[in-house]
Structure 1
Amino acid sequence: MLAAIIFAISITLPNLLLMLLGFMMNKQGKVNEGFIQVATNMVFNYCLPCLLFFSVLKSNVDIAKQVNLLTAGLACTLTLFILAEIYAKFFVEKIEDKGVFVQGVFRSNMAIMSLAVVANAYGADGLSVGAVYMGILTIVYNILAVITLSRTAKTEGGIMAQATGIIGHIIKNPLVIALVAAFAYKAVGLPALPSFITKTGELLGAVALPLALICAGATLNLKSMLSLSGVSMQASIGRIIIAPVMAVLFGLGFGLQGVEMGVLFLMIASPAAAASYVMAKAMGGNDVLAANILGFTTVFAMIGMAAGMAALRVLGLA
């Protein structure tokens, strides 16, 4: 039991400390909005794509062997989405809150929080498995987000125009491009890249997760996070408690164990995705509600991830 607790703390505490560093730097005026914006763009457009590309390239991950994991993740995500939609229909009154609530429940922060914890827990092998999972589920997340937020979208042309727009964003997404390129490179069987290119990519990739976590910490707003409305608290409970429990149930249902169970849990149990705020604001949803959900779950979901991984380790499942 003690070993499991130490393991859980060891994989989540580094992320929390980096977020705390970012929070303190922001409070002390060491970083500002401009730095956070530039750094976040750098991570999204360059560092994280390099991390994912070279993680997949160096891995021996066989997608065919991950069918159970990917199917479990897809089934769990769709179930969370459908249950959140049903709940929102009956218990969330304002139309501008409904899609934001649903997105807050089903959409996790895979690209930053989940990958960072997976890397701490399982190293390069786990990161490769997580990268494949993230690449495929990211597309699903974006499609579902457009569907649920279309209630309040102000884009001309209706839902078809919105769907076309999101497909364009997916195709141009640097993370998706990096993953598709890596899979294609491996499938074709091209020779290894020159060492200077590999080294440069790995150096850029090494910057991704620490810098992203520091930026996430710097954007935390305690006042907003603790001033929770009823809807934001309900969505946060869905993200922090319901989603992790569902992940374990689906993992057991699909016979997952070890790295695959750990990856499924960590990918689904992480905080609300930072992109959920951006998309809610762009499509006319309640962006204040989205920010509250993001802030609250960013802190408390990390505690849940640690507790969950400790329990799974004790049970010999992860």
Structure 2
Amino acid sequence: MLAVVQQTISVTAPVFSMLFLGVVLKRLGLVDVAFINTASTLVFRGTLPTLLFLGIIKADLSAALQPALLLYFVLATLGCFLLAWAWSVWRCPKADRGIYTQGAFRGNNGIVGLALATSIYGDYGLSVGAVLGGVVILSYNILSAIILAIYSPQAKADVWSVGKSIVSNPLIIGVLAAIPFAAWQIPLPAWLLTSAGYFAQMSLPLALICIGATLTLDSLRQGTGMAISSSLMKVLWLPVLATLGAGLCGFRGADLGILFLYFVSPTAAASFVMAKAVGGNYQLASAIIVISTLASVITTNLGLLLLQWVGWL
């Protein structure tokens, strides 16, 4: 079990390092509000869609394709989304419901979930996790676009406006654009893939630096209650329900373990980028990312230990 703890920390530690770097750069005056706004826009409209595009076209959609597992993940994600939304309606101010809901259901599966699945389950974890990642990307971004469009201060909540916000979302466009290339194995020039890779690799560092730069004691104090609530929902309550459901549906062993790791992953850095893009409470989004990442180190390891104890892994 100590090895699993070390793996979890090795995956989450770089995230904290970049967050801390953002705090330091802001204190030194090397990062200001203008940089945060520009960098966040660049990530949302450029580097992150490119990263998602490359992730899809490099995935072997025919390998480790398990319809039952993929279907369960989609249904469980939708259920978690609706539960988080219902709770936010009861407990959160209207303006913060979109940020709270996104923070509670949208996991950092591309970094934390896939890395842990690969570390624990080897090539099988990598292949299943990569295929599952394509479903994750599409479902997370569509649901996030919907909830943020409904509660964004500058958005209209009618069906036409919400639909328009979904189809015009750069992250969703990046995913949809990649599907034909992946499905039909359309080759792209090596130089183009290399250049795109350089560009895409800026996504996570830039996003995390911006998150760290926006963190202040005042913003953490003001949103502590909601941030803790959303974080616990992300890394504790919803993973418990979703994993229990998976176990009752008959998933066992590596398949159940991979589902659990994807459900329990901390809130994705992309949630901050999307919150900033729609004019939402990005300070709350920042706090949720930090708290959920810290808490996931504990809940991930306890969850794996408990699943082994009941004989499901």
TM (normalized to structure 1)? 0.77
Give, in whole Å, the separation in 1 of the partners of 2:167 and 2:301.
38
Hey, what does 2:191 align to over in structure 1?
196
Using the TM superposition, give the Cα deviation of residue 105 of structure 1 relative to its aligned residue in structure 2, in angstroms. 6.0
Structure 2 CA distance for partners of 1:70 and 1:37, relative to 1, 3 Å: farther
List per-residue Cα deviations over 1:152-204 (Å, max 9, x = no partner). x7767xx43xx3223222222222222112211122342x2111111111111
Hey, what does 2:215 align to over in structure 1?
220
Give, in whole Å, the separation in 2 of the partners of 1:155 and 1:207.
28
Using the TM superposition, give the Cα deviation of residue 21 of structure 1 relative to its aligned residue in structure 2, in angstroms. 0.8
* Identical positions, percent: 24
Confirm or deny that 1:20 pairs with 2:20.
yes
Give, in whole Å, the separation in 2 of the partners of 1:205 and 1:154.
28
Match of 2:175 among 173, 179, 187: 179
Confirm or deny that 1:132 pairs with 2:135.
yes
Aligned residues: 298
Give, in whole Å, the separation in 1 of the partners of 2:16 and 2:170.
26
Using the TM superposition, give the Cα deviation of residue 96 of structure 1 relative to its aligned residue in structure 2, in angstroms. 5.0
Hey, what does 2:290 align to over in structure 1?
299
The alignment's C-alpha RMSD in Å is: 3.4
Q: Which gives a bigger RCO, structure 1 or 2 (Cα 8 Å, sep 6+)? A: 1
Using the TM superposition, give the Cα deviation of residue 251 of structure 1 relative to its aligned residue in structure 2, in angstroms. 3.8
TM (normalized to structure 2)? 0.78
Structure 2 CA distance for partners of 1:44 and 1:264, relative to 1, 3 Å: farther
Structure 2 CA distance for partners of 1:94 and 1:51, relative to 1, 3 Å: closer
Give, in whole Å, the separation in 2 of the partners of 1:248 and 1:267.
8
Hey, what does 2:203 align to over in structure 1?
208
Moved more, 20-29 or 252-261: 252-261
Give, in whole Å, the separation in 2 of the partners of 1:4 and 1:53.
30
Instruction: Give the conservation status (yes or no) of the 8 Å contact 1:25–1:31.
Output: yes
Moved more, 79-88 or 18-27: 79-88
Confirm or deny that 1:117 pairs with 2:104.
no
List per-residue Cα deviations over 1:118-152 (Å, max 9, x = no partner). 354338754564243112331133224445x39xx
Using the TM superposition, give the Cα deviation of residue 223 of structure 1 relative to its aligned residue in structure 2, in angstroms. 1.8
Specify the SS of the correspondent of 1:177: helix
Instruction: Give the conservation status (yes or no) of the 8 Å contact 1:15–1:117.
Output: no
Give, in whole Å, the separation in 2 of the partners of 1:256 and 1:62.
22
Gaps of 5+ in 2: 120-125
Specify the SS of the correspondent of 2:218: helix
Specify the SS of the correspondent of 1:274: helix
Give, in whole Å, the separation in 2 of the partners of 1:199 and 1:93.
44
Hey, what does 1:7 align to over in structure 2?
7
Instruction: Give the conservation status (yes or no) of the 8 Å contact 1:56–1:131.
Output: yes
Structure 2 CA distance for partners of 1:173 and 1:146, relative to 1, 3 Å: closer
Gaps of 5+ in 1: none
Confirm or deny that 1:169 pairs with 2:183.
no
Using the TM superposition, give the Cα deviation of residue 42 of structure 1 relative to its aligned residue in structure 2, in angstroms. 1.9
Instruction: Give the conservation status (yes or no) of the 8 Å contact 1:101–1:235.
Output: no
Instruction: Give the conservation status (yes or no) of the 8 Å contact 1:104–1:236.
Output: no
Moved more, 54-63 or 25-34: 54-63
Hey, what does 2:91 align to over in structure 1?
92
